[in-house]
Amino acid sequence: MPVSVKLPNEFQGIYKHIFKSNPEKGTMQLVIHELRRRLAEYRLMEKKLHNKYNMAFEEFKSKKMVEESGHSFEVEEDFCDWELALDGIDTINDELKKIAKYT
């Protein structure tokens, strides 16, 4: 499905300067860069939580750390963030595999 975007004049010159390519290739680059940025963000979140608890998520889950903490808000929030990060990593890796031929 073709996507058509009309950029304001201020963006057109910047777009041409940054990508030095046609709009289709430039847009594909934007999508790839955004996926990689999000992947880095999720990996950073996963690493932060791994270091905070000094264990992998599966161990965190199997040790029932949420229950052990008395269901503290912080630990429950970390559980949700960690799960989100791992799901995000898997999802984005799958998306990047689908478009690998364009990179």
pTM: 0.85
Q: Give the pLDDT of residue 4.
A: 80
Of 2 and 99, the one with more pLDDT:
99
Neighbours of 60 (CB within 10 A): 22
Average pLDDT over residues 27-55: 96
| Residue 81 banded pLDDT, cuts 50, 70, 90 | very high
Rounded Cα–Cα distance for residues 85 and 90 (Å):
9
Q: By three-state DSSP, how is residue 51 classified?
A: helix
- Count Cβ atoms below 10 Å from residue 89 Cβ, excluding itself: 17
Structure tokens at 68: 């052990």
